[in-house]
A and B are shown apart, each in its own frame.
Chain A
Amino acid sequence: MLTNHQIAERLERILLTVQKPGRYVGGEINQVVKDWDSVETRIALAFPDIYDIGLSNLGLAIFYEDLNARTDVLAERTYAPWTDMEAAMREAEIPLYTLESKHALADFDILAFTLPYESIYTNALNMLDLAGLPLFTKDRDETHPLVIAGGHAALNPEPMHAFIDAFAVGEGEAIFGEIVDAYQAWKKSVQDRPALLHQLAQIPGIYIPSFYETTYNADGTIDTFTPTQPDAPAAIQKRIVGKLPPPPTRPIVPSINTVQNRVAVEIMRGCARGCRFCHAGMVNRPVRERPVEEILRAITTSLENSGFEEVALLSLSSSDYTHILDLIRQISEQYKDENLRISLPSLRIESLSIDLFEMLRGQGSGGFTLAPEAATEHMRNIINKPIQTRQLLDVAGEIYSRGWTTIKLYFMIGHPSETLEDVHAIADLCKQVISEGRKAMGRKSKLNVGVSTFVPKPHTPFQWVSCDTVEQMREKQHYLRDALKVPGIKFNWSNPNETIFEAMLSRGDRRTADAIYHAWQHGAKFDSWREYFNHQTWQSAFAEYGLTSEFFTNRERSLDEHLPWDHIHTGVHKSYLAEEYNRSQSGTLTTYCREQCHACGILRDYRDLRAQYPGEDWKCPEVRSIVTDQTVSVQVEAAQ
């Protein structure tokens, strides 16, 4: 394997032959370069997409700062090289390396992948291959880095089970330190790789896929999923932090233009709204908020450390943050002379107020994004996103009248029980919205309509329902394309083949791993990039292993079917998801859980943690007393 100096020398020969060489050199403000030989454990943090996208990933930024805060650890970054760079690296025989020290990934102790979405699985395989590492966990031993993964897509880890040694289920801040400690203890004991995996299996929230086996019924459904090792738990419970740790404040300032150049501060984690299609909303419970003072301190320090001119207040639903008006007022006052832009990427129509509009006025005359998801109240009741059409139109009118020229509206087609009338209503509603714009600002008003297709995600109340077929999607999209040929409206839709591909991977079981490997061998990579997604390659890969979309995506599953992700527990119980699914079928709404606790399971699973962190940070009711292990009832106070 080449040394880091040899890699640096070879890079000099190829960098001028590729696009945007600045992606591959590191050296940015706030990067951390530690003495390689003075630390005990070296970790490569890998994002399986290009630098331009991965740099703004908040999870990676959190781990980078957290891990580098330890004196015994160094953490460096690596991203997927774009295809021109990959070809040049392969030709020059340069292994994949980290940006900071240019060490090959094979020199590291731990290689940690972030898997936020399924379409980057082949990139992860490609990165392992470029690093010169065996792709399959069974082919790696103690001479190779431990390969771990986490992130939202890893909550159904089975499609990647063959390639990852250990999955971290849940919030990385709660678990990464323990992984490092276990690794260090194992290294000192000079044992083999299986010994390390056994030590890791003892950490709550760690899933070692090679310690389990699956059997199947004749119809292809899962019969059993059982541990093969006595020390492997039957189910893996998601780990969470009781209190959000202070946010990272030394953001890496890229030397080239990337997708998002801004300070990002997470103001709240989790969402209490309970939209039944929403994966993030279900798996990130409970809701925990950061105090205003801590957010302000983080913004001040991050801006001083970076020179960025924009701050994004991140959460799944920023307008639901209890102190949002106070926070924006204080930021606006503090930076009134400095042209600081405030960005609120996720706003709920129900919690937008005139006061908030007034505060955001002048924060950019470009776009304002709203996501009603469905256009009829009947459908919004099914998905549990109860927005009144009149309310949406009023909000649109307020937005246009305050100077925003463009509204972006996001809808989904393919919801359960959807009829063509629900699809027609999308076009009608869009016309009503642009008409509000015409009233407020004439022909300057624009409306961008994005219509994606619903994919039933694991761990949601809709995990049992089927996805639309390609033909159904095309019919609905065709109608909308014609109906939305209206001046001022721009319509975007998703490729049905890409939707089916996403559904196959997100709902897949262990057999999907073979198809992923096959597709990668036949050139699949950058599958989230439209110009690189190859439907034929994936079709052949799925067909090669007898995996059909009829079975994985277009089949309604019964409530008692053993689902591929059943052994991963997110805290929201399967019985609650089933109850919510049944309520959706009758169009019954479940109220905002800040108003009333619906006993989703979070308080039962994390009762000790809630008791340890009483007060306002959590938005779940207080736990009055910690009950014994033998009983499962929890006494809760009524929510405020």
Chain B
Amino acid sequence: MIRVRITYTKKGWLKYTSNLDIQKLWERAIRRWPIARGITPSPK
């Protein structure tokens, strides 16, 4: 199990995106990261 703590700020047009949708964006962003292949990210 790898734990990563990410701190982020919503700026620009992204401020209009809900927190749940941002969590989903993070999951997809991590999947696009080549070294994360096979990881199933689950934000808490």
Q: Which residues of A approach B to under 8 Å, CB–CB?
A: 15-16, 21-22, 24-27, 29, 253, 255-257, 261, 303-309, 337-339
Q: How far is the CA of A26 from the CA of B13 in the complex (A)?
A: 8
Check A255/B21 contact, CB under 8 A, given A26-B13, A27-B12, A27-B13: yes
Q: How far is the CA of A305 from the CA of B28 in the complex (A)?
A: 10
A253 engages B18 (CB within 8 Å): no
B16 engages A253 (CB within 8 Å): no
Question: Who on chain B is nearest to A99 by CB?
Answer: B13
- Residues on A with beta carbons closer than 8 Å to the beta carbon of B21: 22, 255-257
Instruction: Name the 6 nearest CB pairs between A and B, nearest first.
Output: A307-B28, A21-B16, A307-B31, A25-B13, A307-B32, A27-B13
B2 to chain A, nearest CB (A): 15
Check A25/B16 contact, CB under 8 A, given A256-B21, A337-B38, A338-B38: yes
A52 to chain B, nearest CB (A): 12
B25 engages A255 (CB within 8 Å): yes
Question: Who on chain A is nearest to B29 by CB?
Answer: A307
Having A26-B13, A255-B25, one finds 20 other A-B pairs with CB under 8 Å, namely A15-B16, A21-B16, A22-B17, A22-B18, A22-B21, A24-B16, A253-B25, A255-B17, A255-B21, A255-B22, A256-B17, A261-B24, A303-B31, A304-B34, A305-B32, A307-B31, A308-B28, A309-B28, A338-B37, A339-B40
A609 to chain B, nearest CB (A): 38
- Residues on A with beta carbons closer than 8 Å to the beta carbon of B37: 338
A358 to chain B, nearest CB (A): 24
A304 engages B32 (CB within 8 Å): yes
Q: Which residues of B approach A to under 8 Å, CB–CB?
A: 12-14, 16-18, 20-22, 24-25, 27-32, 34, 37-38, 40
Q: How far is the CA of A220 from the CA of B29 in the complex (A)?
A: 59
Q: How far is the CA of A337 from the CA of B37 in the complex (A)?
A: 9
Q: How far is the CA of A256 from the CA of B22 in the complex (A)?
A: 8
Question: Who on chain A is nearest to B41 by CB?
Answer: A307
A–B Cβ pairs within 8 angstroms, 22 of them:
A15-B16, A21-B16, A22-B18, A22-B21, A25-B14, A27-B13, A253-B25, A255-B14, A255-B17, A255-B25, A256-B21, A257-B21, A261-B24, A303-B31, A304-B32, A304-B34, A305-B32, A306-B28, A306-B32, A307-B29, A307-B32, A338-B37
Q: How far is the CA of A595 from the CA of B13 in the complex (A)?
A: 55
- Residues on B with beta carbons closer than 8 Å to the beta carbon of A305: 32
- Residues on A with beta carbons closer than 8 Å to the beta carbon of B25: 253, 255
Q: Is the interface of B mostly helix, strand, loop or mixed?
A: helix
- Residues on B with beta carbons closer than 8 Å to the beta carbon of A337: 38
Across the interface, A309 reaches (CB within 8 A) one of B14, B18, B31, namely: B31
B13 engages A256 (CB within 8 Å): no
Across the interface, A257 reaches (CB within 8 A) one of B12, B24, B30, B40, namely: B24
Q: How far is the CA of A253 from the CA of B31 in the complex (A)?
A: 13
Q: How far is the CA of A306 from the CA of B28 in the complex (A)?
A: 7
Q: How far is the CA of A307 from the CA of B37 in the complex (A)?
A: 10
- Residues on B with beta carbons closer than 8 Å to the beta carbon of A22: 16-18, 21
A303 to chain B, nearest CB (A): 8
A256 engages B12 (CB within 8 Å): no
A255, A303, A338, A339, most chain B CB atoms within 10 A: A255
Question: Who on chain B is nearest to A102 by CB?
Answer: B13
Across the interface, B27 reaches (CB within 8 A) one of A21, A255, A307, namely: A307
Q: How far is the CA of A33 from the CA of B28 in the complex (A)?
A: 21
- Residues on B with beta carbons closer than 8 Å to the beta carbon of A27: 12-14
Q: How far is the CA of A597 from the CA of B37 in the complex (A)?
A: 47
Question: Who on chain A is nearest to B30 by CB?
Answer: A307
Q: How far is the CA of A21 from the CA of B21 in the complex (A)?
A: 12
- Residues on A with beta carbons closer than 8 Å to the beta carbon of B18: 22, 256
Question: Who on chain B is nearest to A25 by CB?
Answer: B13
Q: How far is the CA of A15 from the CA of B14 in the complex (A)?
A: 12
Question: Who on chain B is nearest to A22 by CB?
Answer: B17
Q: How far is the CA of A140 from the CA of B21 in the complex (A)?
A: 41
- Residues on B with beta carbons closer than 8 Å to the beta carbon of A261: 24
Q: How far is the CA of A341 from the CA of B30 in the complex (A)?
A: 17
Q: How far is the CA of A253 from the CA of B13 in the complex (A)?
A: 15
- Residues on B with beta carbons closer than 8 Å to the beta carbon of A256: 17-18, 21
- Residues on B with beta carbons closer than 8 Å to the beta carbon of A21: 16
Question: Who on chain A is nearest to B16 by CB?
Answer: A21
Q: How far is the CA of A329 from the CA of B26 in the complex (A)?
A: 29
Q: How far is the CA of A303 from the CA of B21 in the complex (A)?
A: 19
A97 to chain B, nearest CB (A): 13
- Residues on A with beta carbons closer than 8 Å to the beta carbon of B14: 25, 27, 255
A88 to chain B, nearest CB (A): 13
Q: How far is the CA of A304 from the CA of B37 in the complex (A)?
A: 10
B35 to chain A, nearest CB (A): 12
- Residues on A with beta carbons closer than 8 Å to the beta carbon of B27: 307, 309
